[in-house]
Amino acid sequence: MNESSAAPCSPRVAASAAFLCFAPVIVSFAVAPGALWPEYPGLAFHLAVFALVPSLRAPEWARMAGYGWLFLDVTTGVLALNDVPRAVADPVRLGAHIFAGIWIVTASRAASLPVKLVGVPAGALLFAYSFVSPFLPPTVLAPASILMMVWFALIAWQNGSQRRA
């Protein structure tokens, strides 16, 4: 990795921050569905993942997919905070999840076995749901959210997607 693409912090810090910011978003699905306040920790979550993308082994095209996900998902969070109807913002978020799935699956395939076993299905669910969302309820994404939390925890624990000595 050259100096210009170096990660701004360790994978442990970025993954831990993502985990902590995503937890209230997941809780909100059960206790406050449709509430606006989860957009704030959601924005912080996506900004934390910006620091994680360059830390995980993945081809440049997959990293670009990761950044595309984050760019679009941060945009949809700001759209929601500014009262843009969900009918406009949510399909953009689903489109972003296609890029999320590409990055997560690709980064996970080059990872340790635990990261791979959790990340590949998490990314595949995010990717696939975007195509079937008109026919299935959003609750179908619940397993992906839980898998993502475990994925971030594993990356934080291992200080990256590879086991370190």
Domain boundaries, the chain: 8-158
Query: In this model, does residue 6 exceed pLDDT 90?
Result: no
Query: Poorest-confidence range of 32-36, 38-42, 61-65?
Result: 32-36
Residue 123 near residue 101 (C-beta atoms within 8 A): yes
pTM above 0.85, yes or no: yes
In 3D space, the residue among 119, 127, 126, 128 whose CA is nearest the CA of residue 151 turns out to be 119
The packing angle between helices 142-158 and 86-109, to 10°, is 40
pLDDT value for 163: 55
How far apart CA 133 and CA 117 sit, in angstroms, is: 24
Residue 163 near residue 154 (C-beta atoms within 8 A): no
